[in-house]
Amino acid sequence: MATRRGDTLIFPKPPVIAAHACIGGKKEGESPLAAEFDELHSDNRLGQASWEAAETQLQLQVARLCLKKAHATEKDVSLLLAGDLQAQCTASGYAARALGLPFAGLFGACSTMAEALGVGACLCSAGMADGLLAMTSSHFCTAERQFRTPLSYGAVRTPTAQWTATAAGACLLRPAGQGVGIRAVTFGRVQDLGIRDINNMGAAMAPAAAATLLRYLTDTNTQPQKFDAICTGDLGHVGSQLFRELLAAEGLLLKNHVDCGSLLYDAEGQSVHSGASGPGCCAAVLCGHLLPRLERRGQRRVLFLATGALMSQTTFLQKESIPAISHLVELAAPEEQNGGNT
Amino acid sequence: MATRRGDTLIFPKPPVIAAHACIGGKKEGESPLAAEFDELHSDNRLGQASWEAAETQLQLQVARLCLKKAHATEKDVSLLLAGDLQAQCTASGYAARALGLPFAGLFGACSTMAEALGVGACLCSAGMADGLLAMTSSHFCTAERQFRTPLSYGAVRTPTAQWTATAAGACLLRPAGQGVGIRAVTFGRVQDLGIRDINNMGAAMAPAAAATLLRYLTDTNTQPQKFDAICTGDLGHVGSQLFRELLAAEGLLLKNHVDCGSLLYDAEGQSVHSGASGPGCCAAVLCGHLLPRLERRGQRRVLFLATGALMSQTTFLQKESIPAISHLVELAAPEEQNGGNT
């Protein structure tokens, strides 16, 4: 069960992330976080006939690996919540077909991992799911042709452009037990400050992350310095700067902000310009980097705010501005779950 | 709270559909169900610059109308669950931007209304949302170019083809009070019997509806004749026939089956071949036709199984078969909510 304060749901008995896994592709294998992935593929096609099928394979492999790490099987899962960036979320649909689990598809673009953890935490804490898989993926090659230009055009990337990660992450949620706790969830409201540049996702998404963070802090009457890290999804370098500026304008100076999109790649060495993006980016960084730190108690309390840009190639060509959303989950190291000030 | 039996969640204190609304376009205004729509547009562009923007308007109008019918405002809504067929669910994203509500995007193709009611019922019954809007839409012109061919090609439609409804439906869920009760939810598992014809959605989706219905009946140990109607989403005439054949092969002879896709249009008079489809189809038929009957107690217990085909134009061109899913919600007339055998 949960207590509602404003837009924020607080779980007195936090559901837990009992196991997690992440898988990456070639560029992820050359990144500073390479050692933190559970598996890496040197071939981004994963032996499949298409990139889209490769992304389905990423999801399938990460789901099975997550279950294996939990010493669980598909029978221990009541529900799969998954999403991706492909039109009509087909990476998730085909993965769900192969997994054979009850499945509810989500779409929040790059915010989907936090959305899945948020909805999943609600269902688990209310006894409506025993084991619940929350999973997202992205693939550079499927995303670029969905949102921008076919790769074979060799379009020049602008300085604000981010590199869609070829990666997937999965978390197995349980109502209680060992694992990082999900103490609170804030579902975001769509923000749009009028950005129209499809190569500047960070700028489009920064206001959404700022709005959701401010709302969570107000709802829970908490100060940002209470957290070891406030971790946004994939604002990248440009978006992160804007995010901190937007918060500074509200009188909040964040000293503990990190961004999964900035962490994943070596921006200069890997030529990724403003950083990484994609629902697989923050899912993989969460599962490979953030959750292990919480489990080792190197960090105790972390806010995870994934951000998503809700446009399509059609709305871009129609010159619509880019709406964005950010969902927040509050994570707590295992022994911290029943204390604290929320 | 809920009791879990297999894949089915049963709500001893059912959350309710406190209000609902539906809006349709020109063809819907000429249909046998025209009188049951709350509003009809003779111009499918709704005065907008694009069909995509028109679909957003459909959602916006139906959400506001639903709230108006409940004598409620946006402030009474804790969460919006919405989805549509456009790539990256942009009709819902832009509608959520205008509504300014906390928003979790769903993707289940034409099954999205049942998914939204299912997730929404879980959240409401667990006290995690006070008022919750569940909403879906579709638009003939946005869907045809997403999934098949640009309309201006004037492609000939095959006998199995269905006509994507230009329509939207919205339900306001509350944890308790007046309204049709949601007594149970079954989240479906993806089914795929190998259909590859993008003009035969009914055949692709029929196995999903059959699988979910069988699972619900087993989970709850109920006979189909206990219901006044077993209502599928948009199988159309071809898919409905296959659905009944699949169940007959399992020894179940359904005499109370109706299909929203078969109900909406006059198949011959309106030249729609196999019937209607789209997430807006079953949402509108639910809100305009099924729920009022339950409210008037003309029917007491109804199963609503929306079905979705989870392919995209890309996976179609890649010659993948079409995975499909069906989610089920059990609806009960107002005074029936606390009785019955579930």
Regarding whether A149 and A273 lie in a shared domain, the answer is no
Selecting from B50, B89, B189 the residue whose C-beta is nearest the C-beta of A100 gives B189
Lookup result for tokens 């869920």: B173
Selecting from A52, A78, A323 the residue whose C-beta is nearest the C-beta of B318 gives A52
Choose among B31, B55, B84, B43: nearest CA to B272. B31
A191 to chain B nearest CA, in Å?
7
Contacts of A318 in chain B (CB under 8 A): 49-50, 52-53
Which of A140, A157, A174 delimits the end of a domain? Answer: A174
- B154 token code pair: 């004037």
Does the pLDDT of residue B92 top 60, yes or no?
yes
ipTM: 0.97
Which of B113, B141, B174 delimits the end of a domain? Answer: B174
User: What pLDDT, in 10s, does the model give residues B195-208?
Assistant: 999 999 999 999 99
Does the pLDDT of residue B301 top 50, yes or no?
yes
| Phi, psi angles (nearest 5°) of residue B274 | -85, 0
Show which of residues 208-227 on chain A sit within 8 Å of chain B, judged by CB atoms: none
B181 to chain A nearest CA, in Å?
18
B298 to chain A nearest CA, in Å?
32
Does the pLDDT of residue B76 top 50, yes or no?
yes
Show which of residues 145-204 on chain A sit within 8 Å of chain B, judged by CB atoms: 146, 186-192
What is the CATH classification number for the domain harbouring A81?
Answer: 3.40.47.40
Selecting from A103, A187, A310 the residue whose C-beta is nearest the C-beta of B90 gives A310
Taking CB atoms and an 8 Å limit, are B310 and A88 in contact across chains? yes
The average pLDDT across A238-260 equals: 97
Regarding whether B60 and B147 lie in a shared domain, the answer is yes
State residue B338's pLDDT score: 52
| Closest residue in A to B53 (Cα–Cα) | A315
Selecting from B4, B128, B314 the residue whose C-beta is nearest the C-beta of A4 gives B128
- The share of chain A scoring above pLDDT 90, in percent, equals 92
Q: In Å, what is the CA distance from B117 to each residue of A155, B122, B137, B172?
A: 43, 9, 14, 9
The average pLDDT across B129-149 equals: 94
Regarding whether B201 and B270 lie in a shared domain, the answer is yes
User: How many structural domains does chain B have?
Assistant: 2
Contacts of A85 in chain B (CB under 8 A): 88
Residues A238, A230: Cα–Cα separation, whole Å: 17
The average pLDDT across B194-222 equals: 97
Taking CB atoms and an 8 Å limit, are A86 and B312 in contact across chains? yes
State residue B341's pLDDT score: 37
Contacts of A104 in chain B (CB under 8 A): 106, 108, 115, 118-119, 187, 327
- A311 token code pair: 């446009």
Q: Does residue A218 belong to any structural domain of this protein?
A: yes
Selecting from B52, B93, B314 the residue whose C-beta is nearest the C-beta of A310 gives B93
Task: Give the residue from B90, B112, B307 with the most A CB atoms within 10 Å of its CB, the best one to mutate.
Answer: B90
Residue B150, CA atoms < 13 Å, CB-side half-sphere: 2
User: Does A306 reach chain B within 8 Å, measured CB to CB?
Assistant: no
- B224 token code pair: 């189909």
Please tell me the total number of residues recorded for chain B in this structure: 342
A 10 A CB-CB count for B335 gives 10
Task: Give the residue from A128, A214, A216 with the most B CB atoms within 10 Å of its CB, the best one to mutate.
Answer: A128
Q: Does residue B341 belong to any structural domain of this protein?
A: no
Q: Does residue B340 belong to any structural domain of this protein?
A: no
Residues A169, A167: Cα–Cα separation, whole Å: 7
Q: Which helix (H) or strand (E) holds A39?
A: strand A39-40
Q: Does residue A342 belong to any structural domain of this protein?
A: no
Show which of residues 24-53 on chain A sit within 8 Å of chain B, judged by CB atoms: 49-50, 52-53
Selecting from A97, A123, A192 the residue whose C-beta is nearest the C-beta of B192 gives A97
State residue A336's pLDDT score: 56
Contacts of A93 in chain B (CB under 8 A): 190, 310-311, 323, 325
Lookup result for tokens 């837990």: A16
Regarding whether A230 and A245 lie in a shared domain, the answer is yes
| Closest residue in A to B316 (Cα–Cα) | A90
- Residue A100's domain comprises 3-174
Taking CB atoms and an 8 Å limit, are B108 and A108 in contact across chains? no
Contacts of A311 in chain B (CB under 8 A): 88, 90, 93
Regarding whether A208 and A90 lie in a shared domain, the answer is no
Give the pairing of strands A324-332 and A301-309: antiparallel
Choose among B202, B96, B216, B218: nearest CA to B158. B202
B293 to chain A nearest CA, in Å?
28
Regarding whether B269 and B170 lie in a shared domain, the answer is no
- A251 token code pair: 């009188």
Regarding whether A292 and A239 lie in a shared domain, the answer is yes
- A165 token code pair: 């990660």
Mean residue pLDDT across chain B: 96
Q: Which helix (H) or strand (E) holds B90?
A: helix B90-99
What's at B105, amino acid-wise?
A: G
Choose among A191, A164, A166, A186: nearest CA to A278. A164
Q: Does residue A12 belong to any structural domain of this protein?
A: yes
User: Does B55 reach chain A within 8 Å, measured CB to CB?
Assistant: no
DSSP E strand boundaries for A131-242: 132-138, 163-164, 167-174, 180-186, 229-232
Residue B331's pLDDT band, with cuts at 50, 70 and 90, is: very high
Taking CB atoms and an 8 Å limit, are A123 and B122 in contact across chains? yes
DSSP letter, residue A280:
H
Show which of residues 283-302 on chain B sit within 8 Å of chain A, judged by CB atoms: none
Q: Does residue A149 belong to any structural domain of this protein?
A: yes
User: Does A54 reach chain B within 8 Å, measured CB to CB?
Assistant: no
Regarding whether B199 and B145 lie in a shared domain, the answer is no
Choose among A281, A279, A274: nearest CA to A243. A274
Selecting from A94, A108, A318 the residue whose C-beta is nearest the C-beta of B105 gives A108
User: What pLDDT, in 10s, does the model give residues A275-299?
Assistant: 999 999 999 999 999 999 999 999 9
| Closest residue in B to A50 (Cα–Cα) | B318
Regarding whether B166 and B96 lie in a shared domain, the answer is yes
Lowest mean pLDDT among A148-152, A174-178, A294-298, B138-142: A148-152
Q: Does residue B67 belong to any structural domain of this protein?
A: yes
User: What pLDDT, in 10s, does the model give residues B223-277?
Assistant: 999 999 999 999 999 999 999 999 999 999 999 999 999 999 998 899 999 999 9
Task: Give the residue from B190, B317, B319, B325 with the most A CB atoms within 10 Å of its CB, the best one to mutate.
Answer: B190
Taking CB atoms and an 8 Å limit, are B108 and A104 in contact across chains? yes
State residue A87's pLDDT score: 96
Regarding whether A155 and A12 lie in a shared domain, the answer is yes
Q: 3-class SS at A168?
A: strand
Contacts of A52 in chain B (CB under 8 A): 314-315, 318
Q: Does residue B273 belong to any structural domain of this protein?
A: yes
User: What pLDDT, in 10s, does the model give residues A146-171?
Assistant: 898 888 888 888 999 999 999 999 99
State residue A335's pLDDT score: 74
| Closest residue in B to A89 (Cα–Cα) | B107
Regarding whether B190 and B167 lie in a shared domain, the answer is no
Lookup result for tokens 């403003």: A274
Selecting from A85, A90, A314 the residue whose C-beta is nearest the C-beta of B311 gives A90
State residue A339's pLDDT score: 46
Which of A115, A143, A174 delimits the end of a domain? Answer: A174
Regarding whether B186 and B160 lie in a shared domain, the answer is no
